[in-house]
Amino acid sequence: MGFMDKLKNKFKQKENNPETEDVSQKYKEGMEKTRNSFSSKINDLVARYRKVDEDFFEELEEVLITADVGINTVMELVEELKMEVKRQNIKDTREMKDVISEKLVEIYYGDDDETVEKLNLQEDGLSIVLVVGVNGAGKTTSIGKLAYQLKQEGKHVLLAAGDTFRAGAIEQLDAWGEKTGVDVIKQREGSDPAAVIFDGIKAARSREADVLICDTAGRLQNKVNLMNELAKVKRVIEREVPDAPHDVLLTLDATTGQNALSQAKTFSEATDVSGIILTKLDGTAKGGIVLAIRNELNIPVKFAGLGEKVDDLQAFDAHAFVYGLFADLLEDETE
């Protein structure tokens, strides 16, 4: 059984697992722009080339680079594909769809398993999640959606409004708190972010919360100040709760492509980013940025924004992501 058949089976068991079907459907719908661009180009490539040769690989490189997979990742991927073609003695380009889809998943995981995508929540005691990212990347919205998701799972969640400098940021988080029924710990605009987070930890302890999600400032244009601020917030958290923060999630806007990659580099220099929330994946034809971030920075994507609704922030699943990329091809084969 080929890899695409396995994907098809995994995401086509409607009766057995409606939850799996729901995830696959969200990725299929949310990745329509990337898929329309990516799948049609792969199909066109396979139609024009009957045999797998150097010209085929050169054009495949271009397709991957235009999907924002990132040059280093593309080179690595193409080398692995060439080795696989030799190993399996593949001559027909039609067989390449299967090999490409399998290698995309492999390159995403590297030496890790699927647990790399999961939020690092503590079984006992308070879990602290710090959310960082530039203004405009969808940070506050993602925090609201994440709080909603965790609450649906039965967790007692609190939010700390540590983005005290952006006008309206506290009110925006407050609005999400009301919408999701989650309490927000806040001070007035311009307060010290570290003091707000300290209050948040105190409140989370006294109310026996399971998870505290901390919003932070996102003014990248004043990089030194921002990074000092983040370091201070992190020190306060570490002092109050050893081993915390348990996750530092960086919010990136998928529509900004390679710019998102340079933001990720900047933030991971200042704080130990453990995962990415990739917003607006539904709004880009260049969803390959997922692979570039993972492979070039060794940071897993933990959540993907696949729409506007409160439940459209999806826990990331590399298999579902590749299914979203190839859904049309998979369905064509079943018809």
- Binding-site annotation: residue ranges for GTP: 133-140, 215-219, 279-282
State both tokens at 227.
């990074």
Q: Which residue has the tokens 């009766």?
A: 15
- Beta-carbon contacts of 271 under 8 Å, excluding residues fewer than 6 positions away, are 130, 132, 227, 230, 231, 234, 248
Distance CA 183, CA 175 (A): 10
Query: CA–CA separation, 38 vs 44, rounded Å?
Result: 10
Q: 264 with 293: CB under 8 angstroms?
A: yes
Q: What residues contact 209, with CB distance under 8 A and at least 6 apart?
A: 126, 156, 157, 158, 203
Distance CA 275, CA 129 (A): 11
Distance CA 196, CA 215 (A): 10
Q: How far apart are CA 291 and CA 127, in angstroms?
A: 28
Token code pair at residue 304:
């993907």
- Which residues make up each annotated binding site? 133-140, 215-219, 279-282
